[in-house]
Amino acid sequence: MATLREAQKEMTRKLLLDSGVELFVSKGYAATTVDDIASAAGTTRVTFYAYFPSKVELMKALIAERLNDALDRVPSADHGSTANELVAVVEDGSRKRIRAWLAAISRRWDAIRPYTTAAFEAAAVDPRIRALLSEWLDEAIGDVEDGLNRAGRFPPGTRHFRSVLAITELDHVARHWTPGHWGVEREEMLDVLTESWVGSIGRR
């Protein structure tokens, strides 16, 4: 019986998260209410609050759980979360390895875009989400910097800035590019993005 109850609780939580991200994207974070999310999940606001103290906490869960899972990010003692493969790719620094990683991650963009879209919209109106999103991006920047530090590549004083450039560029492209957008198809986009990454953080 306990196992069934736990499964039902997990399903309700999943429905709330699914409904939340769908409404944040379709209706907008600011315009979506707790009642909207609860109704879409087929439950009540009382049940919502049993799982999440607020809409902000639900948004935090979407970032910390759904986004991190989609990007293979795992808990890290150094900086919140880490993507071990990204660190290894940057440490290697070869054009081939960078291109392969960018190609693999780009295949996930459609799946993660609802979460990043919702997160950035929420950050625009809620300082708590803004701070969380900034921390999350800093964790990815930290991965790139860790890779550069392990490789001993580039002057130490430039490594953080190079990491900021690489992740800021990747984040913008991941959130906005679609086939043909900006005049490039997928392979061309990956070629140019790879060229930029090799120039800023890779081995030349």
pLDDT tens digits, residue range 70-126?
A: 888 888 777 667 889 999 999 999 999 999 999 999 999 999 999 999 999 999 999
Please report the pLDDT score of residue 67 as a whole number. 86
Q: Are strands 74-76 and 80-82 parallel, antiparallel or unpaired?
A: antiparallel
H-run or E-run covering 80: strand 80-82
Q: Which residues contact 93 (CB under 8 A, 6 or more apart)?
A: 147, 151, 153, 198, 201, 202, 203
Specify the higher pLDDT residue, 65 or 89.
89
Average pLDDT score over the chain? 93
CATH of domain 59-201: 1.10.357
Note the pLDDT of residue 2: 60
**CATH 1.10.357 in the chain, residue ranges:** 59-201
pTM: 0.89
Domain limits, CATH 1.10.10.60, in the chain:
1-52
pLDDT-above-70 percentage for the chain: 98
Domain at 1-52, CATH from 2.70.150.10, 2.60.40.10, 3.40.1010.10, 1.10.10.60? 1.10.10.60
Q: Is 22 exposed, middle or buried (0-12, 13-18, 19+ CB in 10 A)?
A: middle
What span, in angstroms and rounded, lies between the C-alpha atoms of 198 and 91? 12
Q: Categorise residue 123: left if φ over 0, alpha if ψ from -120 to 50, beta otherwise.
A: alpha
- Do residues 64 and 155 lie in contact, with contact meaning Cβ atoms separated by under 8 Å? no
- Cα 180 from Cα 56, distance rounded (Å): 35
Closest CA to 36 of 54, 17, 23: 23
Local structure of 1: helix, strand or coil: coil
